[in-house]
């Protein structure tokens, strides 16, 4: 039996670390605006190519934390697809549910890193997604997919209703949001854990300012465990009864790409291992803290020993009641 199967697109990430404080780049953090002139030449300090995508990052993170994992994903039959499958196998991920689409390209993204924050340009080719015959599994993590996701989501909903012992964690992607909240909420109601950032939470329940209100309203959608990440301000969680905040660990970031996925894999691994919400919040924060010190979404992922070392080193960093 698998501990966790992730469902979502795998892709090739090309990371470009832009040189900070360039005169021809304008950054307005308050407006979340990064701009440069059309036709301008922008200096790059460093570049890196690797496999990525939420489902890919989470399954690798969970595997490193000791879970038996697999992934349901779509790739093209190009060189990028071959690279993804080879690297998944290199991380000891079961690839029997990786489907290759003949004559199609693999999804990809360009990730611009500037002052440790990222802006992503991505392409998800149209897919005819279908849920394969499912093996025995304890948890499913359902996340970002391309335009053809509704059919697979319908099949996943039917599967979950027929298999109530299988637990679902979910982090909707941009295409799921683009399809509309009504579509997302059909499966959110079946989830045991929702993990999303503050902006995504507001898309689901409305433009509520208060974190407490966001947690309460989002938790009301499904009644399970709700987690909202908020960048450098940390993460928040509720079990429907109490609410907690977990600060980030005091690590100096190089690039924040993959921090959310690292948090998700740490949090879920702890929950699957029966650790409880408070420990899960620490695992998530510790995993994310290591990833932001590296270039790429997987290079800093921790094993359980490293997670416990981070928590022990920074004992004063722990969840507190809101």
Kindly tell me the sign of the dihedral angle through the C-alpha atoms of 149, 264, 107, 177. Answer: positive
Residue 98, pLDDT score: 97
Q: Which tokens in the block code for residue 1? A: 């039996």
* pLDDT value at residue 178: 75
Give the β-pairing of 225-229 and 235-238: antiparallel
Q: What is the pLDDT of residue 180?
A: 66
Q: d(Cα 281, Cα 263) in Å, to the nearest integer? A: 8
Q: H-helix or E-strand containing 194?
A: strand 193-197
The ranges assigned to domains in the chain are 2-24+43-321
pLDDT number for residue 23: 67
The pLDDT of residue 282 is: 98
Query: In 8-148, which ranges are continuous DSSP H helix?
Result: 54-64, 79-90
In this predicted structure, the answer to whether residue 76 has a pLDDT above a threshold of 70 is yes
pLDDT band at 111 (very low <50, low <70, confident <90, very high): confident
Distance between CA atoms of 180 and 195, rounded to whole angstroms?
18
- Please name the fold of domain 2-24+43-321: 3.40.1190
Q: How much is the mean pLDDT over the chain?
A: 91
Tens of pLDDT, residue by residue over 281-297, are 999 999 999 998 887 77
Structure tokens at 66: 């000791």
Q: Distance between CA atoms of 58 and 60, rounded to whole angstroms? A: 5
pLDDT of residue 118: 77
Average pLDDT over residues 110-119: 82
Mean pLDDT of 220-231: 94
Burial class for 195, CB neighbours closer than 10 Å (0-12, 13-18, 19+): buried
What are the tens digits of pLDDT across the range 15-50?
888 878 776 787 777 667 888 878 888 888 888 888
Read off the pTM: 0.92
* Mean pLDDT to the nearest integer, 82-108: 95
**pLDDT, tens only, 179-195:** 767 788 889 999 999 99
d(CA 27, CA 139): 40
Mean per-residue pLDDT, 270-288: 98
Provide the pLDDT for residue 37.
Answer: 78
H or E element: which one contains 10? Answer: none
Q: Which DSSP helix (H) or strand (E) runs through 46?
A: strand 44-52
Average pLDDT over residues 208-221: 90
Closest CA to 300 of 315, 279, 286, 280: 286
Which percentage of the chain shows pLDDT scores above 70?
99
Structure tokens at 11: 């892709």
């Amino acid at each position: 039996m698998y501990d966790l199967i992730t469902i979502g697109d795998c892709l090739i990430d090309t990371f470009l670390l832009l040189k900070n404080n360039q005169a021809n780049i304008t950054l307005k953090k308050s407006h979340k605006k990064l701009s440069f002139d059309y036709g301008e030449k922008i200096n790059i300090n460093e570049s890196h190519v690797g496999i990525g995508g939420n489902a890919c990052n989470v399954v690798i993170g969970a595997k490193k934390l000791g879970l038996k994992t697999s992934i349901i994903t779509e790739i093209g039959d190009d060189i990028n697809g071959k690279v993804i499958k080879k690297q998944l196998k290199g991380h000891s991920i079961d690839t029997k549910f990786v489907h290759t689409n003949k004559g199609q390209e693999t999804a990809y993204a360009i990730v611009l890193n500037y002052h440790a924050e990222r802006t992503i340009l991505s392409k998800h080719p149209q897919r005819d997604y279908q849920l394969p015959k499912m093996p025995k599994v304890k948890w499913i993590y359902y996340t970002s997919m391309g335009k053809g996701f509704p059919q697979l989501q319908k099949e996943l909903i039917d599967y979950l209703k027929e298999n109530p012992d299988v637990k679902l964690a979910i982090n909707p992607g941009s295409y799921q949001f683009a399809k509309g909240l009504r579509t997302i909420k059909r499966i959110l109601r079946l989830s045991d854990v929702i993990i999303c950032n503050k902006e995504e939470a507001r898309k689901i329940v409305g433009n509520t300012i208060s974190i407490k209100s966001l947690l309460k309203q989002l938790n009301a959608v499904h009644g399970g465990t709700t987690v909202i990440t908020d960048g450098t301000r940390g993460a928040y969680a509720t079990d429907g009864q109490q609410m907690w905040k977990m600060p980030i660990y005091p690590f100096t970031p190089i690039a924040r790409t993959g921090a959310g996925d690292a948090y998700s894999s740490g949090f879920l691994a702890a929950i699957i291992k029966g650790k409880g919400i408070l420990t899960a919040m620490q695992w998530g924060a510790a995993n994310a803290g290591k990833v932001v010190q590296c270039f790429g979404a997987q290079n800093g992922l921790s094993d359980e020993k490293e997670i416990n070392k981070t928590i022990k080193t920074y004992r004063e960093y722990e969840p507190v009641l809101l």
